[in-house]
Amino acid sequence: MSDLNVGYVCSQRLRVSESAVHAFITPRAFRSRRGSASVLRTSFPAVICTLAILFLVRPAYTGHHFPDYPVRPAVEYANKVAEASLVVAVEPVEDAEQQKTYFNFRLSSKGILPVFIVIQNTSATDSYLFDRSAVGLGDAEGPTGKGGRKTASLRTSGGLVDLSLINDVTDVRDNLMKKEVRSKTLSPGSSEYGFVYVPVPSNALRGRIHLQVPLTDAQSGEIEVVNLFF
């Protein structure tokens, strides 16, 4: 068969649904002239077309698609704090349907509250160092200094859920880790955003949460601790 004809056959067969894929690769039996035994034969053009379909058609068993959580400038959030040249905002995602949309799981039912955090450096000259591992929970009613930080436990680090301690390898866990806020040097005018995960009661109303976000001036080494309550 010429290349032109093979291309035509492929273009015709690419239009079939996924349920028809198996039909292309199902071996066909015929009887050999030299004996009565059945011999398996597969059409070469059909194999080529099938491989093309497998690459082009998304299988049903591939990983779930998790949409990105929408981000806005830090100054546009209702819960925000400005310190020096920094603006830090948080938005807890408490709605179960939103959790299902962005994480494919209702996390609150398992005692996890995803909190979206946006950090914006509004300075025209200064840079700040953001260390994700330094973010933690303080006492709900204060103090606002680092002395009020909760200690790490088997499940948490600085009071937050530590995803590295979750051993189950699933799409949900991988998505949680992908969406987690990252350490970064915030150059003038830049921002960073992502989630932190706060442990909450799974079957009761949560209390007030005090989140501490330390940021270090890259030039002076001075630490600004931004305190947010929600």
Residues 8-17 pLDDT 10s: 444 444 444 4
How many whole angstroms separate alpha carbon 208 and alpha carbon 147?
18
Give dist(CA 165, CA 173) in Å, integer.
11
Query: What integer pLDDT is reported at residue 75 of this predicted model?
Result: 95
Domain that holds residue 220: 74-229
Which pLDDT band holds residue 216 (cuts at 50, 70, 90)? very high
* 25 and 106 inside one domain: no
Quick check: pTM over 0.75?
A: no
The pLDDT of residue 1 is 52
147 in any annotated domain: yes
Neighbours of 226 (CB within 10 A): 23
More confident call, 227 vs 63: 227
Contacts of 177 (CB under 8 A, 6+ apart): 163
Residue whose structure tokens are 């100054």: 75
Same domain, 106 and 38: no
| 222 and 187, same domain (yes or no) | yes
d(CA 166, CA 169): 8
Q: Identify whether 67 is part of a domain.
A: no
User: pLDDT tens, 122-152?
Assistant: 999 999 999 999 999 988 765 554 444 443 3
